[in-house]
Structure 1
Amino acid sequence: MASSENSVESKSSLTKLAPLEAVLFDIDGTLCDSDPLHYYAFREMLQEIGFNGGNPITEEFFIATVAGKHNDDIASDLFPGDLERGLKFVDDKEAMFRRLAAEQLKPLNGLAKVRKWIEDRGLKRAAVTNAPRPNAELMLSILGLTDFFEAVIIGGECEHAKPHPEPYLKGLEALKASKEHTFIFEDSVSGIKAGVAAGMPVIGISTRNPEDLLMEAKPAFLIKDYDDPKLWAALEELDKSGSR
């Protein structure tokens, strides 16, 4: 698709939401570039136990098997037939991730700008994540976003995690917001699928995951990060629609 067409589409895809009520965010890979830390932790720990014949996992394997998925599903994929071992492994991996995050976690480019845009308009906001609660709370704290979000919905505390729509529907419920006036920021295939299934436009962030894979999940449009001009063109159109 030509970028000019994409830009026209992206401008118009949010205008039907006016007046905007709320914005929902995933956390991992959406608020911060955390995937490299998860990848590092999985690669090191799987190699230690001789997974894949002792060869390090590839980034492609990580994207296909791990990125955006809930830990219960990751555990059963990595350790079929031994779920108990899988769950213990992912718990240990999360502890390693938290140690790495405490030293290395950085916000995605432009996050402060989009935060200000949301605060200036008094919009409701929730974080909706498949990360375990200790991870989610740590990341929000490091990013200075603990007080920014009115609700934090954890996939593992719902009956179904993403790609099921339930976590995003719970986010709406917690904010008392309408899906007709809310959009989502997401960076993974499972997260985009969850948001689309919940009936909201999803802006996909292609910092790490391949654009063609993300597009298959049917986001409204893709951006590189929050500095992407495509995002600001769409938000400007949305502002105009809301003030007509």
Structure 2
Amino acid sequence: MGLSSAEHPLLARYAEVRSEVSAQYGPDSQAVVFILYEELLSLRTVLAQDRSNRRIAERVRDVSVEIQRRYDIGGMVDKGRHHRLISDRPVLIEYDRAVFDRMYGNLRRACAVRPVHVTGAAVAFEALQAGPTHIYVVDDSYRLLVWPEPFTLAEMVFGRTPDRRVDGTRVVHPMLVPERLRVRAAGELSIVGGPDDCMVIANMKSGHFRPPPSCADVLRDVLRGVFPLTDEDIDVFTVPQPRA
């Protein structure tokens, strides 16, 4: 069933922008992914305020499918691996200690900000900004640890630039688990809504841990335990394992 501008102006506006960007850069370009992600955030924000809006709910599902398809064909380029899969049932990934100490040890000690252990929705909405992107890990004890300083949506889609700094320090996923360097999932997430009625958009984009698609199930379980969420309230986008 089509979605016309008369049914919701937000849908019509994103359809117009998506068409323009697709014509200029290609239908599967990173620019289109950027627009789709922005649309998903906007639609889920609207849906969190009005869950009875069937048209918005339908479009949310369609956008989610479109984003995942583009992630599947895009993948990640393998630029060297410093992690190892300790276990695949359940998933447990470890980052190389020597590499971490050499590349990030001093940076981590100099950074005053620390990850937030998100134990509930109230903690999340007090410590994190609703809407923007935060990097997260699920550690080996199934704790959801989130970096409180947000990144831009462009950095989420196109990648964080090498000179990006938070409190003077470049933040990477291993810095959230410096003691053991072990995770069960890692990537980026955004929360929308409020503590009593929220939604989460997340992915498995971590160039350091390279979590396999199966980590999505772990993250979903953790999110359901932390937030008042159903499966329909959660988007988790997986990334194929790096190609050589």
Task: State if a TM-score over 0.5 links the two structures.
Answer: no
Q: TM-score, normalised by structure 2?
A: 0.29
More strand by share: 2
Which structure ranks higher in relative contact order (CA pairs < 8 Å, sequence separation ≥ 6)?
1
TM-score normalised by structure 1 residue count = 0.29
Which is richer in helix? 1
